[in-house]
Amino acid sequence: MSRSRFEVIAEDKYSRARCGKLALTHGVVQTPVFMPVGTNGTVKSIEQGKLKEIGVQIILTNTYHLYLRPGMEVIKHFGGIHNFMNWHFPILTDSGGFQVFSLGRLNKVTDEGVEFKSHIDGSRHFLTPDKAMEVQMMLGSDIAMAFDECIDANSDYITTANAANRTYKWAKRCKKTHNLDDQMLFGIVQGGIYEDLRIKSAEEITALDFDGYAIGGLSVGETKEVTYSMLDIVVPLLPKDKPVYLMGVGTPDMIMEAVKRGVDMFDCVLPTRLARHAMAMTSEGNLRLRNAEFQFDKASLDPNCDCYVCKNYSRAYIHHLFKCNEVLGMMLLTIHNIYFLLDLMKNIREKIKSGVGLMSNVR
């Protein structure tokens, strides 16, 4: 049986939105929550102490990439991923399923698993559902993800049905292999953009009684409207006493719409990727700081933001840093962009708890 570590503490009057507490080995996470992505055991352009300082509760690391480098021998030597990267707070590890999709030209997928060529040195590896569990148990993350097959959103019906069926078969193997009591295991619902396949996948995956449920195969090329329609179909089919995780979503509008539909957890590379390209996320939309219009701008990035960057630096200074290719520019925008999404989640939680409702403005 799965372990109940999730408690719903408040519900929105006007939608399916709710606040919860997710009790994990390395801490309690308040939901809805945004998880910054630390692919290689680091969130790009920001160190762990600053992550905690700005309010990050949980981060995501990547099984596929850590398996290849530094490798399990190194991680095991340090006693797990928390010790290795000196982050003693919750961590979720993905299973490698998305990398099977995104690095598809290097991979061959069969019912047994995935044969792939390393993008680093060309060496060949074989990743099975059982292996994905063994690696994640060795990493020692607080939440492990079942191994799934993620495909392009525009795939035809038969291809999508086959992938969803394979995901179910792999999920059963993951559940059988996983035996770490202090690590939660989430199942993943697939089914693409087809209503009947989504329903079938949700029913099959929930029947396996995982600790939580992720909705995969969205935000991979389909329109926002399709994403929302799939959430409308899937979320009501998931257990109300388990956390719901929408994978790969990080824009404020999509987070809001997904929260209203009952989603509790999000992850995305967007805030750090935008920061590396001189883009600031703000309550008035994204700002492209390389633009000449900011050369003399004394304003902070966002007048509604009280992060360290907005309190101490002007748009003109950050514009200057990027024009000079100074690393500090990326670091400052990374702090701001992550804080911006954390603040969004905090305001969402406060509105749900207060009873005001998410139909009112959430900055």
3-state SS, the chain, equals CCCCCEEEEEECCCCCCEEEEEEECCEEEEECEEEEEECCCCCCCCCHHHHHHCCCCCEEEEHHHHHHCCCHHHHHHCCCHHHHHCCCCCEEEECCHHHHHHCHHHEEECCCCEEEECCCCCCEEEECHHHHHHHHHHHCCCEEECCCCCCCCCCCHHHHHHHHHHHHHHHHHHHHHCCCCCCEEEEEECCCCCHHHHHHHHHHHHHCCCCEEEECCCCCCCCHHHHHHHHHHHHHHCCCCCCEEECCCCCHHHHHHHHHCCCCEEEECHHHHHHHCCEECCCCCCEECCCHHHCCCCCCCCCCCCCHHHHHCCHHHHHHHHHCCCHHHHHHHHHHHHHHHHHHHHHHHHHHHHCCCCCCCCC
Query: Is 209 designated active site?
Result: no
Tell me which of 12, 211, 264, 267 is the catalytic residue. Answer: 267
Tell me which of 94, 142, 148, 343 is the catalytic residue. Answer: 94
Query: Is 267 designated active site?
Result: yes
Catalogue the active-site residues: 94, 267
